[in-house]
Structure 1
Amino acid sequence: MKWHQALTDYSLYLKIERGLSENSINSYILDVKKLINYLETNTISVSPIDIDTTTVKQFIYEVAKLLNARSQSRLISGLKGFFNYLIFEDYRKDNPLDTIDSPKIGRKLPDTLSENEINNLIEAIDLSHPQGERNRAILEVLYSCGLRVSELTNLKISDLFFDEGFIKVTGKGDKQRFVPILEDTQKYITIYKNQIRNHIKIHPEHQDILFLNRRGKQLTRAMIFTIIKGLAVTIALDKTISPHTFRHSFATHLLENGADLRAIQLMLGHESITTTEIYTHVDRSQLTAVINNFHPRK
């Protein structure tokens, strides 16, 4: 088996058997391509079936000079998954990464925006341009519904159930969930949909996509990043933010205000409550307040 064929087969496995999104599949494939590039650069002729632990260890040692601990851990995990697939398909009997440990990393929590910072970002949107109404609706949806950026760009008009107060969200692995949507957020979407989107010449393939660019096509993930980073510059926000920051802020603010962790888990679309516990950190002052308010010995 050659590397190219192994990558093609692995990609199909991730898509069909695992039900992963295109972005996740690309990340896993990129991990393997880094190993292939190392082999080619060093003229090491070995197949995915025959490569041994020594060669993989040398590759990890070399990339460790260029990657931080978190990126190294991600790469090792991705390669383990690839070789586990080869074992699953009976191409190999062992995984060459079984004896390779990932570097220990601390739990990294993304920046969280305060309510004032979120308000300032939204207020910085120039509503005199047609894109302004769209961008306001986008930020309101990100913050009030806690969506991933891919979930936002794929949101359809047919996914809006305003009479019931929900939107249907298609998450990782095409799993669907219903998320409550605030009346104000519904209002901003309606303004954009009825006053701006109606006047765009929409590409036939994107008739049902809610958020469109000026050419009537689906917005890209990169465009959402650009919009948010541009607003951060406008208000001189001294934080590194992305669409995911709004999702984290959504969960954190709900938790701070007493929301049930299980409810947050369902709205975020996390399979495991453990993921939600990591995602929605509670600072020490809040923990102290919980003890002071609720412990019987207070």
Structure 2
Amino acid sequence: MELKENIIKKYKNYMLLEKSLSPNSIDAYLTDLDKLSIFLRNENLTAENVTLDHLQQFIAQLYDIGINARSVARIISGIKSFYNFLVLDGYMQNDPTELLETPKIGLKLPTVLSLEEIENLFSVIDHSTKEGQRNRAILEVLYSCGLRVSELVYLKFSDLFFDEGFIKVEGKGSKQRLVPISHTAINEINKYLYFRNEMTVKKGSENVLFLSNRGTAISRIMIFYFIKQYAQMAGIKKEISPHTFRHSFATHLLEGGANIRAIQMMLGHEKITTTEIYTHMDREYLRQEIIEHHPRNNRK
């Protein structure tokens, strides 16, 4: 059995319908599977007769071409998912990935903006223009609600409950959650709506909150682009992205004394261990404060 088109199609449907993965996650899994397919073809192997030794050889080749441990771990996860599907669907009896070890990855703390950096970034936005006010509203929502950029671009008018102070968000696996929204973010959205009401909206996008100049939902790439632009204008040297605002949201809440379970719910994390990275960040922040400001550490 090779990685035939009909099997890949069934696997794609399995990820979509049974695992409820997002289109981006499915594309990532299939891209990783392409790497395995190339290896099998070069080694004259099929998916059915591959062994643990073969898979370890495949992983070694990934390292040889310079793929880092974090990416290798993701690829292994994708391969394990594929073979789990093959066993579940009766294509194979035994799973050769069962004993395949994932590389240990050191804790990498995400980039976080300070309150001052966030204010500096917001200050360079010209919100007298349609694009500027839209971008200001987008950044306020990212920061005040801790949304993923994929969640933000799909926000609809029907998801806004301003009187109650909440928005409804559809996260990974089509799971919905209610997230509090700040008065500042509500105010910026209302200012943006003044411009949006004058736009020509393409059919099918009438309920979409944040629009591009073409009258369709704004793309994630566009949000990445203007964040980079504003960061440069504000003199921020850190490498930031839309996700940086989500990290900053969680970190600032934790520093302010918020309960980690509450942060987990607002971020839409399925597991508390995912949220706990911010406790590491908080400890690292405290450590840096002590190193920089404690008199015992200021001696020459």
Cα gap change, 1:244/1:95 in structure 2, threshold over 3 Å: closer, same or farther?
Answer: same
**Helix, strand or coil: the match of 1:199?**
coil
* Amino acid paired to 1:170: E
Letter in 2 for 1:204: K
* Counterpart contact for 2:254–2:278, Cα < 8 Å: no
Corresponding letter in the other structure for 2:224: F
Q: Which amino acid aligns with 1:51?
A: V
Question: Structure 2 unaligned runs (5+)?
Answer: 290-300
Give, in angstroms, the shift of residue 108 of structure 1: 1.2
Structure 1 residue 55 displacement after superposition: 2.7
What SS does structure 2 have at the residue aligned with 1:120? Answer: helix
Matching residue of 2:197? 198
Q: Which residue in 2 is equivalent to 1:119?
A: 119
Query: 1:288: Cα distance to partner?
Result: 11
Q: Matched residues, percent identical?
A: 50
Deviates more, 1:278-287 or 1:265-274: 278-287
Counterpart for residue 132 of structure 2: 132
Deviates more, 1:47-56 or 1:119-128: 47-56
Alignment CA distance shift 1:221-1:288 (3 Å):
closer
Please give the secondary structure, in 2, of the residue aligned with 1:84. helix
Instruction: Measure, in 1, the Cα distance between the counterparts of 2:261 and 2:224.
Output: 29
SS of the residue corresponding to residue 90 of structure 1 reads: coil
For 1:296, the equivalent position in structure 2 comes to none
Instruction: Report if aligned partners of 1:155, 1:209 keep a CA contact under 8 Å in 2.
Output: yes
What corresponds to 1:293 in structure 2?
none
Deviations 1:191-247 (A, max 9, x none): 111x11111111111111100100001111111111111111212211111111100
Separation in 2, partners of 1:200, 1:288? 48
1:16 to partner: Cα distance: 0.5
Q: 1:89: which partner in 2?
A: 89
Q: Check whether the contact 1:6–1:48 (CA below 8 A) recurs between aligned residues.
A: no
Taking the aligned partners of 1:109 and 1:7, their CA distance within structure 2 comes to: 35
On the 8 A contact 2:170/2:176 being kept in 1, the answer is: yes
Q: How do 1:248-263 and structure 2 match up within 5 A?
A: 248-263=247-262
- State how far apart, in whole Å, the 2-side matches of 1:248 and 1:149 are: 12
How many residue pairs were aligned? Answer: 286
- The one-letter code of the counterpart of 2:252 is H
Tell me if 1:223 matches 2:228: no
Does the 8 A contact of 2:40 with 2:47 survive in 1? Answer: no
Mapped contact 1:11–1:25 kept (Cα < 8 A): yes
Give the TM-score taking structure 2 as reference length. 0.90
Equivalent residue letter for 2:140: E
Q: In 2, Cα distance between the equivalents of 1:285 and 1:170?
A: 31
